[in-house]
């Protein structure tokens, strides 16, 4: 018969029943309290970002619309030098280019989406790129620095320095709200000039650490050379308002704008510059040769006809242009600032 093995129980110490465990519980309670107090700090430490610098995957796109063109007092188109196409006497313009009466408030988000709708849709459906964009990733420039939500058509015809100062305040607000987010600036027409002026003359090196790229679309960033400016000045003044006076290639302000590409040594990814200019050969009001800056990356191409008689809006929906912008904004990693 097999022997049965028993494990002997330790002898009961007198008085060590339930009451005998109390000293152990009293010793453990302070340790538990300490662990409970330190647990939130440990979790917070685990959640703390590895660095506090720019996060090139947390990207935001700032959309800058152009001037609201005023055709109320538009004079007859000037006779242009041989080789340049004639300007229409009474150009047909879509509502997002004229914007309504000067004192009518414009919703910054709605106006930007009316202008950049095709581009926003393309960015939200990028394929094969490392960067993806969603509805909450877009920011909307307001020409009124005291109101991020609305501005008036008249505000768009204020001086370029006033507009660039407004962008400086708004960028600081967005950067403060998301300290690690990085930004792309995309401007159409005068919006691109404002973005370039901010980059060249207003943005600090620390702010530019958080800028991925700046893209302009049919923006007169190089200014109009003489004698073309002399021909166009009477026509541009009613269309553009005060900014028209600064758009001569020889103007001091345009010389400041020209410095924008020099703020970076090299662009993101394989791009030579963080400034990328796109010009449409068919644009009548911003000829392609005034839409690109020396030292910038970009393309000049036949981007087709647009929804307006000036062909100033074709670039906003042209497949080649949308693909080019998607290529820049879809690139991960940041540019290298100039020392």
HSE-CB at 38 with a 13 A cutoff on CA atoms is: 6
DSSP-assigned letters across all residues of 76-105: PPPPPPTTSPPPPSS----HHHH-SSTTS-
- CATH code of the domain containing 321: 3.40.50.1820
* C-alpha to C-alpha distance for 87 and 75, rounded to whole angstroms: 11
Q: Is residue 213 part of a domain?
A: yes
Which residues form the domain of 164?
A: 59-67+94-337
Backbone angles phi, psi at 123, to 5 degrees: -70, -30
Q: Is residue 215 part of a domain?
A: yes
Return the pLDDT at 76. Answer: 83
Return the pLDDT at 48. Answer: 39
Whether the Cβ atoms of residue 210 and residue 54 lie closer than 8 Å to each other: yes
Q: Is residue 47 part of a domain?
A: no
Retrieve residue 131's tokens. 């960067």
Q: What sign has the CA pseudo-torsion 295, 208, 67, 277?
A: positive
* C-alpha to C-alpha distance for 155 and 243, rounded to whole angstroms: 11
Q: Which residue has the tokens 């229409």?
A: 88
Q: Is residue 224 part of a domain?
A: yes
Strand partners, 106: 151
Tens digit of pLDDT for each residue in 160-217?
999 999 999 999 999 999 999 999 999 999 999 999 999 999 999 999 999 999 999 9
* C-alpha to C-alpha distance for 286 and 218, rounded to whole angstroms: 6
Closest CA to 247 of 232, 265, 266: 232
Whether the Cβ atoms of residue 226 and residue 250 lie closer than 8 Å to each other: yes
Tens digit of pLDDT for each residue in 122-175?
998 876 556 889 999 999 999 998 999 999 999 999 999 999 999 999 999 999
Of the chain, the end-to-end C-alpha distance in Å amounts to 92
3-class DSSP state for residue 165?
A: helix
Q: What secondary structure letter does DSSP report for 337? A: E
Neighbour-count burial of 314, counting CB atoms closer than 10 A to its CB (0-12 exposed, 13-18 middle, 19+ buried): buried
Retrieve residue 173's tokens. 């607000």
What's the number of domains the chain is made of? 1
Return the pLDDT at 232. Answer: 86
Retrieve residue 272's tokens. 């030579």
Q: Is residue 216 part of a domain?
A: yes
Instruction: Tell me the chain's radius of gyration from C-alpha atoms.
Output: 30
Residues of the chain with pLDDT under 70: 1-51, 127-130
Return the pLDDT at 26. Answer: 53
Burial 322-339 (b: 16+ CB within 10 A, else e): bebbbebbbbeebbeeee
Q: Is residue 240 part of a domain?
A: yes
* C-alpha to C-alpha distance for 60 and 185, rounded to whole angstroms: 9
Beta strands in 189-232 (DSSP E): 211-217
Q: Is residue 202 part of a domain?
A: yes
Closest CA to 282 of 306, 249, 299: 306
Whether the Cβ atoms of residue 303 and residue 324 lie closer than 8 Å to each other: no
3-class DSSP state for residue 330?
A: coil
Q: Is residue 110 part of a domain?
A: yes
């Amino acid at each position: 018969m097999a022997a049965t093995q028993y494990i002997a129980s330790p002898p009961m110490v007198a008085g060590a029943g339930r009451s005998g465990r109390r000293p152990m519980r009293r010793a453990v309670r302070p340790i538990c309290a300490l662990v409970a107090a330190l647990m939130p700090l440990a979790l917070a430490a685990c959640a703390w970002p590895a660095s506090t610098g720019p996060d090139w995957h947390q990207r935001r796109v700032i959309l800058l619309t152009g001037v609201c063109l005023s055709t109320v007092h538009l004079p007859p188109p000037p006779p242009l030098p041989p080789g340049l196409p004639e300007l229409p006497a009474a150009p047909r313009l879509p509502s997002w280019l004229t914007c309504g009466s000067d004192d009518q408030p414009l919703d910054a988000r709605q106006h930007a989406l009316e202008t950049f709708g095709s581009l926003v849709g393309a960015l939200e459906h990028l394929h094969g790129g490392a960067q993806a964009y969603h509805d909450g990733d877009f920011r909307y420039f307001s020409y009124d620095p005291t109101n991020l939500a609305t501005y008036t058509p008249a505000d768009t015809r204020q001086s370029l320095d006033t507009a660039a100062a407004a962008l400086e305040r708004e960028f600081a607000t967005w950067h403060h709200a998301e300290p690690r987010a990085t930004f792309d600036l995309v401007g159409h027409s005068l919006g691109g000039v404002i973005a370039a002026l901010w980059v060249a003359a207003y943005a600090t090196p620390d702010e530019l650490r958080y800028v991925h790229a700046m893209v302009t679309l049919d923006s007169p960033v190089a200014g109009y050379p003489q004698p073309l400016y002399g021909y166009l000045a009477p026509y541009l003044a009613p269309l553009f308002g005060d900014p028209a006076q600064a758009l001569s290639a020889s103007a001091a302000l345009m010389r400041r704008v020209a410095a924008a590409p020099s703020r970076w040594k090299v662009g993101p990814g394989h791009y030579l510059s963080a400034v990328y200019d796109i010009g449409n050969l068919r644009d009548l009001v911003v000829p392609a040769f005034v839409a690109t800056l020396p030292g910038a990356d970009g393309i000049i191409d036949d981007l087709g006809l647009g929804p307006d008689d000036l062909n100033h809006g074709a670039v906003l929906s042209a497949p080649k242009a949308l693909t080019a912008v998607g290529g820049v904004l879809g690139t991960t990693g940041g540019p290298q600032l100039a020392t």
